[in-house]
Structure 1
């Protein structure tokens, strides 16, 4: 049975776990090793049970735990070539495996397709994970949603998608101008509105569940992200079809099977 859990999701730290196809995959390693170990223990998973690690990019909120984590978890790390080069400078790990964008590879019975995401970090990517039970897209840290990314995730039953900020709140908030400009750029982060429109479009192709992720702690609220996506789904006539959840900043969230829940 396929299982997916968000352990942490924000600009302070990102980490998830996927179980299925004979593998236990850790996706990103933000926060710290103690937190990840404790979160996994609540799921009955030990660090030694992790079979593989997938890393999206080298910003600290996605890899901060790795220098210590890799001392306790010897699972191979899979990432794009630029990300692997960056990791060599940050953690001593002899099992760094390069993956090619848009080139599927197998881990056990899990078929994984990396795809590049437009973000201000070399080699930034997301992942499409496929098992006999279905497809899950993991897509955070992107300034906009290119047609290629949309197509890769079209038909996925589940998507873990960035819904980083409310544009009005960001523009009128206390962030300095350079940071606002970075976040709003085509290489920055996805807004609530952009995420909502993507969800509504994917809903036409069989999307059943979405977890809105990587919410800004200063420029967003779970209820804002949830409301924006649910509004788009109502307008598209897909309100009853797509279940929406919001990943909390630093708490476990299970991909539930029924109902709607805001973390």
Structure 2
């Protein structure tokens, strides 16, 4: 009897492009396709996987760092694509032709089963038409993704609790952002409730989300201009320690990268 496992790799994460790969023995999913088709193929090769085996692509929202390679990947590999109706309206305009047979609706608040993976979608606060994120369930394990959100509501915290793996946003250091050369309107957007989570906000939210089930937290969607991996990790770790979360004992923090994948590992 084969062991029940849920494997995953954060193929890339950051303002330059986002993609996460999730697989079981029967099912292979890609969450977002925010890099060129060529780069996505390279990232798959780096973890020893073939995008030709994908069963579906799930889209969180229509910003270019989440859909840049969607049209190419959908057409090249004839992969079904799942997004909500409002996001599809934008994708039709931004991604070129995707055959109607490949287009599926998956609305916020719904649960979808693809192969042997159950997927729960939930709404997030971001400046897109109807942004959402996902929790994945397989064999008693739960992996949750939460990036591109300006704040974390109590409802979202409840949705994310009891995840063995969390892929969670730590986008910027507030002082680095304030001192940056970004125009004020961009700074205001990032700092707003429909922008991105700071390192501090990430740590504070994680302190409320992490439970005895949690094993790994991947800090994701870091700004290349307004954050540093070491700074994000140290800031989140300090807050978690202050809140008596057993970092490096029960829970370990992990980096993600804009241009290379994390190891393909099992929950």
Contact 2:217 2:254 in 1 (8 A): yes
- CA shift digits 1:97-127 (9 cap, x unpaired): 1112111110011110111110000111100
1:10 and 2:19 aligned: no
- CA shift digits 1:194-235 (9 cap, x unpaired): 111122222235321110000000000000110011112211
TM-score for the superposition, normalised by structure 1: 0.94
- CA shift digits 1:16-58 (9 cap, x unpaired): 1001262110110011011111111222322210111011100
Aligned to 1:27: 31
- The separation in 2 between residues aligned to 1:225 and 1:21, in whole angstroms, is 34
Per mean C-alpha deviation after superposition, the further-off stretch among 238-247 and 134-143 is 238-247
Contact 2:7 2:266 in 1 (8 A): no
Aligned to 2:155: 148
Distance apart, 1:91 and its partner CA: 2.6
Distance apart, 1:153 and its partner CA: 0.6
1:171 and 2:178 aligned: yes
Spell out the pairing of 1:60-209 with structure 2 (5 A cutoff).
Answer: 60-89=64-93, 90-94=95-99, 95-209=102-216
1:219 and 2:226 aligned: yes
Distance apart, 1:180 and its partner CA: 0.2
- CA shift digits 1:52-74 (9 cap, x unpaired): 10111000000011222222121
Contact 1:19 1:25 in 2 (8 A): yes
TM-score for the superposition, normalised by structure 2: 0.92
Instruction: Give 3-state SS (helix, strand or coil) of 1:241's partner.
Output: coil
- CA shift digits 1:117-167 (9 cap, x unpaired): 100001111000000140000111010011111111111111101110001
- The separation in 2 between residues aligned to 1:154 and 1:22, in whole angstroms, is 26
Instruction: Give 3-state SS (helix, strand or coil) of 2:13's partner.
Output: strand
- The separation in 1 between residues aligned to 2:116 and 2:72, in whole angstroms, is 29
Poorly superposed stretches of 4+, deviation over 6 Å: none
Aligned length: 258
- The separation in 1 between residues aligned to 2:238 and 2:197, in whole angstroms, is 17
- CA shift digits 1:168-197 (9 cap, x unpaired): 111111111000000000000011011111
Runs of 5+ in structure 2 lacking a partner?
none
**Higher RCO (CA 8 Å, separation ≥ 6 residues):** 2
Contact 1:104 1:114 in 2 (8 A): yes
Per mean C-alpha deviation after superposition, the further-off stretch among 199-208 and 136-145 is 199-208
CA-based RMSD: 1.5
